[in-house]
């Protein structure tokens, strides 16, 4: 088997393509541990789209959507001639479109759904929104208020990822606790999107803004009448054969 490791703003993935559609959860646990990644993406054929992905967290659980993962897999598909520079593929959250230009990839994110607009719990004001997967968002004045115990409690109660966000000089900074990893990750595309939409609804940022996750890599989120766009750099770290 040939695998490729990608880094998308601090999120890391093992990716390979195959004609075999099966349960790769056990393989995900092994490969993610061996290659030190957040997830496994398996690319399988589709009759309508360029391909379909099977996405696994590093604990073997599945996820419908991953923003940084979409950018990584789009670049992988382009590099491996599975798609052109405009990539259309199927996820558990529906159709995803990406454009690839050198090492910069932009994803059109799924249409968001607000689950719970505004509520208070554990000393924070929360917003629960589905941006492909569910995310809890709280806007804070200090990102050091990010607390793993609070994140874990909220994650299990609401079965959602948990985000603390801060707006500083119209720039959005985000820390995310992810399901399946059960810890803070270096970046989360759907989480940054959820925070962007919440801050935008509060009038704290513009319709196009720079976003910085824990990895401190710069990304861009933009919203117009057509949708929400998530853009940033991806890095192909290596390709290798495994037994």
Of 190, 164, 3, give the one whose Cα is nearest residue 92.
Answer: 190
Could you tell me whether strands 11-17 and 39-44 are parallel, antiparallel, or unpaired per DSSP bridges? parallel
Tell me the residue length of the chain: 243
d(CA 1, CA 16): 8
Q: Which two tokens stand for residue 17?
A: 């393509």
Closest CA to 200 of 222, 216, 169: 222
Q: From 144, 172, 146, 171, select the one nearest 161 (Cα to Cα).
A: 146
CA distance 205 to 210: 10
Residue 51, C-beta contacts closer than 8 angstroms, at least 6 positions apart:
17, 43, 44, 45, 77, 82, 83, 89, 90
Cα Rg of the chain (Å, integer): 17
Q: How far is CA 125 from the centre of its chain?
A: 23
Q: Tokens in use for 191?
A: 């989480």
Catalytic site residue from 32, 98, 151, 188? 188
Does the active-site annotation cover 66?
yes
Instruction: Exactly one of 32, 66, 98, 151 is catalytic; name it.
Output: 66
| 79: its two tokens | 């590099």
From the list 166, 163, 154, the residue with the least C-alpha distance to 135 is 163
Which residues carry out catalysis?
66, 188
């Amino acid at each position: 088997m040939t695998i490729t490791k990608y880094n998308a703003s601090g999120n890391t993935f093992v990716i390979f393509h195959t004609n075999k559609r099966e349960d790769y959860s056990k393989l995900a646990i092994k490969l993610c541990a061996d290659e030190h990644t957040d997830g496994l993406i398996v690319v399988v054929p589709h009759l309508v789209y360029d391909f379909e992905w099977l996405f696994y967290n590093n604990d073997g659980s599945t996820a419908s959507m991953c923003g940084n993962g979409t950018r990584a897999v789009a670049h992988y598909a382009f590099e491996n001639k599975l798609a052109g520079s405009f990539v259309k593929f199927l996820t558990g959250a529906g159709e995803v479109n990406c454009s690839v230009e050198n090492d910069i990839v932009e994803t059109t994110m799924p249409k968001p759904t607000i689950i719970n607009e505004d509520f208070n719990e554990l000393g924070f004001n929360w917003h629960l929104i589905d941006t492909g997967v569910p995310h809890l968002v709280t806007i804070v004045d200090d990102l050091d208020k990010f607390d793993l115990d609070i994140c874990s409690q909220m994650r299990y109660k609401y079965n959602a990822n948990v985000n603390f966000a801060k707006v500083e000089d119209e720039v959005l900074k985000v820390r995310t606790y992810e399901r399946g990893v059960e810890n803070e990750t270096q970046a989360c595309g759907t989480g940054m999107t959820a925070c962007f939409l919440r801050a935008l609804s509060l009038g704290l940022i513009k319709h196009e803004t720079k976003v910085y996750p824990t990895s401190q890599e710069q990304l861009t989120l933009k919203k117009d009448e057509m949708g929400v766009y998530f853009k940033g750099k991806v890095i192909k770290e290596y390709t290798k054969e495994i037994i």
